[in-house]
């Protein structure tokens, strides 16, 4: 099938903007006989990171479930990688760049999914900070937070290429776009003000943005059925509705059938003139499925009740750590309470050791990464450090440290 429609526009060595695409903020340390391309190196740097590991215990839609077969954020990322790779390969795009963007696109998601994101935004606003949104936080984590150790045990930032970083912050999959046309302008990625403000800079990133929607449409329905949030009769009604919208007829609504349908449609209908896109029929069907999911899965009462629980956890943990900022010596006060709250405080102190600068408190020599929280010159360093610390937690860990606060 491979039609290679985009092969002359793939972001590889022959592309006129390739030198910009592989730019890093700093020169990356080198190893002898490295077999990887620049984007291949980004891919492995991301999957070696701790944030990537934590995705296995972060919510996709259904929170903190003990069922091994319910989708986690980690599985979602893998599904996006698979869908995006297939489309990019068939269109003749750079699959290594596509895969690197896909595995990194959700590293900044808060615990408890979009509900956690909404609550962190509320906390940020209460303290005069910018809105929390996971696309920008994903860029923040790959730029400033995630560290890798070199051959001499020194810690370094991931320091990814421009094209991968752009794809991560530009991936917003909630936008209803029939076609996603790449932008031509190279911008400072820190100038993003809201999700979806700019289209991606490469066609590879456009593919990931489309794949992000394709990957969750039916997967969330499968989980809703498994957890008895949905009944099969309701899904059959959706199938009948979809089959009235065009020639293609679904015999079942499940992850395999939906993913296969949209992958083929994207490959057939994408073109350089319009971008990565869908036929009229497929676009209408996608909108119908998304509306169905919102009405029957994402906005149900059980989710709203859980949001109150998540709000209690996040506000309680933020306020608990924030109170230490009132002490004349915050670090000493934290250290005094380590034995009472070993999991929460030990990990927070370690977080500060990695990223914070205090007066008369030198950082350990192995941390060659950026200072993220300057407690000497930034009056909001404390608030920023706590928000990042909470945002990075998995669902499982944040429940553990919350239980530590309320247990005797």
Could you tell me where in the chain the CATH 1.10.3210.10 domains are found? 7-107+146-298
Query: Which pLDDT belongs to residue 64?
Result: 60
Query: Which pLDDT belongs to residue 173?
Result: 61
| Greatest Cα-to-Cα distance within the chain, rounded to the nearest angstrom | 71
Q: Cα-flanking dihedrals φ and ψ of residue 188, to 5°?
A: -75, 115
Q: Give me the residues paired with residue 156 across strands.
A: 148
Query: Which pLDDT belongs to residue 408?
Result: 82
Q: Which of the given ranges, 59-68, 253-262, 292-301, has the highest pLDDT on average?
A: 253-262
Check if the beta carbon of residue 263 is closer than 8 Å to that of residue 211. no
Query: Which pLDDT belongs to residue 139?
Result: 97
Cβ contacts of 259 within 8 Å, gap of 6 or more: 79, 83, 214, 215, 218
Q: What is the architecture, at CATH level 2, of domain 7-107+146-298?
A: Orthogonal Bundle (1.10)
Q: How confident is the model at residue 134 (pLDDT cuts 50, 70, 90)?
A: very high
Q: How many CB atoms lie within 10 A of CB 183?
A: 15
**Burial call 301-317: b when 16+ CB within 10 Å, e when fewer:** eebeebbeebbebbeeb
DSSP state letter for 197: S
Q: Among residues of the chain, what percentage have pLDDT more than 70?
A: 98
Of 96, 52, 98, 94, nearest to 75 (Cα)? Answer: 52
Check if the beta carbon of residue 390 is closer than 8 Å to that of residue 318. yes
pLDDT tens string 362-381: 888 899 999 999 999 999 99
pLDDT tens string 50-80: 999 999 998 888 776 677 888 889 999 999 9
On average, the pLDDT of the chain sits at: 93
pLDDT tens string 206-216: 999 999 999 99
Structure tokens at 90: 């068939």
Q: How confident is the model at residue 2 (pLDDT cuts 50, 70, 90)?
A: low
Q: Which ranges of 294-339 does DSSP label H, i.e. alpha helix? A: 301-322, 330-336
Burial of 265 (0-12, 13-18, 19+ CB in 10 A): buried
Q: Does the pLDDT at position 24 exceed 90?
A: yes
Query: Which pLDDT belongs to residue 65?
Result: 66
User: Average of pLDDT values for 175-179?
Assistant: 85
Query: Which pLDDT belongs to residue 239?
Result: 97
Q: Report the relative pairing of strands 276-277 and 373-374 from DSSP bridges.
A: unpaired
Query: Which pLDDT belongs to residue 369?
Result: 92
Structure tokens at 304: 């709203």
Check if the beta carbon of residue 207 is closer than 8 Å to that of residue 95. no
Query: Which pLDDT belongs to residue 147?
Result: 96
Q: Give me the residues paired with residue 155 across strands.
A: 149, 367
pLDDT tens string 32-48: 777 889 999 999 999 99
């Amino acid at each position: 099938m491979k039609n290679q429609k985009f092969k002359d526009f793939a972001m590889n060595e022959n592309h006129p903007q390739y030198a910009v695409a592989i730019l890093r903020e700093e020169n990356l340390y080198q190893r002898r006989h490295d077999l990887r391309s620049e984007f291949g190196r980004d891919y492995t740097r991301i999957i070696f990171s701790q944030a990537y590991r934590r995705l296995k215990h972060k919510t996709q839609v259904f929170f903190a479930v003990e069922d091994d077969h319910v989708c986690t954020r980690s599985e979602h990322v893998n599904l996006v990688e698979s869908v995006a790779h297939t489309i990019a390969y068939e269109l003749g795009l750079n699959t290594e760049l596509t895969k690197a963007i896909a595995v990194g696109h959700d590293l900044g998601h808060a615990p408890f999914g979009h509900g956690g994101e909404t609550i962190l935004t509320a906390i940020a606003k209460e303290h005069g900070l910018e809105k929390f949104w996971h696309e920008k936080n994903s860029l923040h984590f790959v730029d400033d937070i995630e560290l890798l150790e070199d051959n001499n045990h020194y810690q370094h930032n991931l320091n990814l290429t421009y094209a991968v970083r752009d794809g991560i912050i530009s991936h917003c999959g909630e936008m209803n776009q029939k076609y996603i046309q790449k932008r031509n302008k190279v911008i400072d990625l820190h100038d993003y003000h809201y999700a979806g403000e700019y289209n991606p800079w490469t066609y590879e990133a456009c593919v990931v943005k489309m794949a992000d929607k394709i990957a969750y449409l039916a997967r969330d329905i499968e989980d809703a059925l498994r957890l008895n949030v949905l009944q099969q009769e309701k899904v059959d009604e959706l199938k009948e509705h979809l089959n009235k919208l065009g020639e293609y007829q679904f015999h079942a609504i499940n992850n395999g059938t939906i993913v296969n349908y949209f992958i083929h449609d994207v490959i057939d209908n994408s073109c350089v003139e319009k971008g990565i896109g869908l036929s009229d029929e497929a676009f209408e069907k996608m909108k119908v499925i998304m509306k169905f999911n919102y009405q029957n899965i994402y906005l149900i009462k059980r989710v709203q009740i859980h949001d109150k629980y998540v709000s209690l956890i996040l506000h309680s943990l933020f306020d608990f750590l924030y109170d230490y900022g009132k002490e004349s010596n915050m670090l000493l006060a934290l250290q005094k309470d380590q034995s009472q709250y070993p999991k929460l405080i030990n990990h927070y102190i370690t977080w500060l050791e990695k990223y914070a600068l205090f007066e008369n408190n030198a950082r350990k020599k192995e941390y060659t990464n950026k200072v993220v929280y300057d407690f000497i010159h930034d009056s909001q360093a404390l608030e920023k450090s706590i928000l990042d610390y909470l945002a990075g937690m998995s669902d499982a860990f944040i429940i553990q440290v919350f239980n530590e606060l309320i247990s005797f």
